[in-house]
Chains A and B, each alone.
Chain A
Amino acid sequence: MPLTHDDVVRILKIIDESDYDEVHIEMGDVKLHLRKGADNEAVPIERPAATRAPQPSLTETPRTESAAVSAPPKKAAPDEPVAEGLVAIRAPMLGTFYRAPSPGEKPFVEVGDKVQPDSTVCLVEVMKLFHSVKAGAAGTVTKILVENGSMVEYGQVLLLIEQEAVGGGK
């Protein structure tokens, strides 16, 4: 029973209006894991379909129950090894990651965009102080690793850029 776009929007609306912090939905091959972000809007995080017996189930994590389920991952933001030729743009400070200059505006960059060393790729905000993060390299954005509005740690990898070959044209 496939989920339509409308279904997802309706589910998000229900979650948004509820008191729940986090919701896991498994319907057929689709697993949705939703967690309310820093600005209290439900942020869908789609996971690749797992091969399981198709049983619709809905598990809720009401605010009053044990915080264990919404426990953040155990390790510090991973110091992932970055593949050669890729430049990792890291958070210069701990804070909240924003992809756009302000809510509702277009993100600074999308996957596939070309950037220059002084292109702003995102913002990190700490207590209303916004810091522009620059690409630091010329190339193409290949991956955006962090959800808009989520907290990032100092040094956490935010984006990956495939560096232009040296001597490459602008």
Chain B
Amino acid sequence: MTDKHGIKRLFIANRGEIAVRIIRACRKLGIEAVVAISEADRHTLAARMADRAVCIGPAPASQSYLNMPAVVVAAKGTHCDAIHPGYGFLAERAAFVRLCVEQDLVFVGPSARAMEEMGDKLRARRIAEDLKIPTVPGSDHVRTVKEALAAGERLGYPVLIKASAGGGGRGMRIVRAPQEAMDAFDSASAEARAAFGDPTLYIERYIERARHIEIQVIGDRHGNLVHLGERDCSTQRRHQKLIEEAPSPVIDSQVRSSMARAAIELASHVGYTSAGTVEFIYDLDSGNFYFLEMNTRIQVEHPVTELITGIDLVAEQIRVAAGEPLSVAQSDIEAHGHAIECRINAELPDQDFMPAPGTIVRWEPPVGDGIRVDTHCYPGYFVPPFYDSMIAKLIVHGRDRGTAIAKMTEALDSFRVEGLGTTIPFHRSVLRHPDFQENRVTTRWVEQELSARSKAGRS
């Protein structure tokens, strides 16, 4: 019935800036937006902007945003046609997709099957290998420390222990020598069990000087699947992205098109629909790229792609979910200029990025040509301690990378926030740094740099 009538009312099963983002897309499409809120989120911007806010549970996510029955009953009870899961929370839970389908709600995202195939990291690796897409040399499941040591021996140290069910850097440990394997194995396994309910681990060769480069794809239910180029997300701390940009300043057009081709092959193989991102590791020393994993959701950093291609990815997701074909063909998609995003968190960079929730006393984001701020914050808003600490995404677009860096620097300088600690000063220092400007940043750069700074501070 959705194919005949489309989506008239969308339920947003998320919070914060992405809930606001989805509401904006709904407005653009002339769709009503109903948003789920926890008790702690009654006074959020999304609650104010939506056509209706439904309180689905108390503050803890497990009883609210992760509460599948509550989410589904709320969506049905408000006569929504579809659910958008945002990112995080239930966005990559195949069981949730199945529940939506069972309850006659359209899920804005891929099928449960595609989600499962790519969600299991080991399975995704095997699929890539079958398609002759390069993968980081690695192992199958390692069940014991003994197996881990054997894999380390075979692959050559350093290696990275990873959670098969994982993401976001949890359940990961670097092992530089056999002596470290036992502790690393035990703690990775425990962390994986706690975070994902699955302690299964595997091992990969660890690439010392890596860039994280990912390809945005989107497909519809009519067999169309396109890519929108890459994003370079190498500025990370503890595997959490801090700064992203598009296009990647370190790859040439040959690598770019090879990665894009691989991404399309992989997504196509699992019949992928809606927005997704295929992540690669690019080895700066060898110039090789390797498939890492695929994320079957809209990503936090989607705005950089939107700014260089001019395509509204969230609106496109909703349209695809309603059964419409993609609004662009591959040949229509062009990248113009350069975009950079800084994730601004309510954290104190000088105190090991300790979360610093509180009430925003002053909130003056930068404005100007080529400046975009995706946020849920406003003056007087109390940033609660229950959820992640991101308070805004500051994204800029310029005609080239130098212009974008200058614009971002200026934008960070004029972003006034009081009442909370923020990572704005940290971003300023990265943008200023010659390593960032001259593309010497690797996925370990932030940690190395912070470690060097703190040593310098102590001496």
Interface residue ranges, A against B (CB under 8 Å): 21, 38, 64, 66-68, 70-77, 79, 93-96, 126-127, 129, 150-151, 153-156
Partner of B39 from the list A73, A127, A154 (CB cut-off 8 Å) is A154
By beta carbon, the residue of chain A nearest B35 is A76
The interface on chain B, measured as residues whose beta carbon lies within 8 A of the other chain's beta carbons, has a size of 28
User: Could you list 18 examples of A-B contacts with CB < 8 Å?
Assistant: A67-B79, A72-B34, A72-B51, A75-B53, A76-B55, A93-B57, A94-B54, A94-B57, A94-B74, A95-B70, A127-B69, A129-B69, A151-B77, A153-B54, A153-B56, A154-B38, A154-B55, A154-B57
B8 at the interface (CB under 8 A from A): yes
CA distance A67 to B9 in the complex (A): 8
CA distance A61 to B445 in the complex (A): 60
Q: Which residues on the B side are within 8 Å of A74 (C-beta)?
A: 51-52
Nearest chain A CB to B252's CB is how many angstroms away? 50
In contact, A96 and B73 (Cβ under 8 angstroms): yes
CA distance A71 to B52 in the complex (A): 9
Closest 3 CB pairs of A and B: A151-B77, A153-B55, A127-B69
Nearest chain B CB to A16's CB is how many angstroms away? 18
Contact with A along B43-86 (1 / 0, CB 8 A): 00001000111111110000010000110111011110000000
In contact, B47 and A76 (Cβ under 8 angstroms): yes
Which label, helix, strand, loop or mixed, suits the secondary structure of the A interface?
A: loop
Q: Which residues on the B side are within 8 Å of A95 (C-beta)?
A: 70, 73
In contact, A64 and B79 (Cβ under 8 angstroms): no
Partner of B78 from the list A66, A72, A129 (CB cut-off 8 Å) is A72
CA distance A74 to B64 in the complex (A): 20
By beta carbon, the residue of chain B nearest A125 is B73
Partner of B73 from the list A64, A75, A127, A156 (CB cut-off 8 Å) is A127
Contacts A64-B5, A151-B74 given: A94-B32 contact, CB under 8 Å?
no
Additional A-B contacts beyond A66-B8, A71-B32, A93-B70 (5; CB < 8 A): A67-B9, A76-B52, A94-B55, A151-B74, A154-B58
In contact, B8 and A67 (Cβ under 8 angstroms): yes
In contact, B74 and A127 (Cβ under 8 angstroms): no
B37 at the interface (CB under 8 A from A): yes
Q: Which residues on the B side are within 8 Å of A21 (C-beta)?
A: 79
CA distance A95 to B9 in the complex (A): 19
In contact, B78 and A76 (Cβ under 8 angstroms): no
B143 at the interface (CB under 8 A from A): no
In contact, A151 and B78 (Cβ under 8 angstroms): yes
Nearest chain B CB to A91's CB is how many angstroms away? 9
CA distance A67 to B82 in the complex (A): 14
Contacts A79-B42, A151-B77 given: A127-B72 contact, CB under 8 Å?
yes
By beta carbon, the residue of chain B nearest A67 is B8
Nearest chain A CB to B62's CB is how many angstroms away? 13
Q: Which residues on the A side are within 8 Å of B73 (C-beta)?
A: 94-96, 126-127, 151
In contact, B54 and A71 (Cβ under 8 angstroms): no
Q: Which residues on the B side are within 8 Å of A154 (C-beta)?
A: 38-39, 55-58, 64, 70
In contact, A94 and B56 (Cβ under 8 angstroms): yes
CA distance A145 to B264 in the complex (A): 54
In contact, A71 and B51 (Cβ under 8 angstroms): yes
B residues 18-52 touching A (CB-CB < 8 Å): 32, 34, 37-39, 42, 47, 51-52
Contacts A67-B8, A67-B79, A127-B73 given: A76-B53 contact, CB under 8 Å?
yes
By beta carbon, the residue of chain B nearest A63 is B5
CA distance A70 to B34 in the complex (A): 13
CA distance A37 to B291 in the complex (A): 50
The CB with the most chain A CB atoms within 10 A, among B5, B55, B56, B64, is that of B55
By beta carbon, the residue of chain B nearest A73 is B52
Partner of B55 from the list A64, A126, A155 (CB cut-off 8 Å) is A155
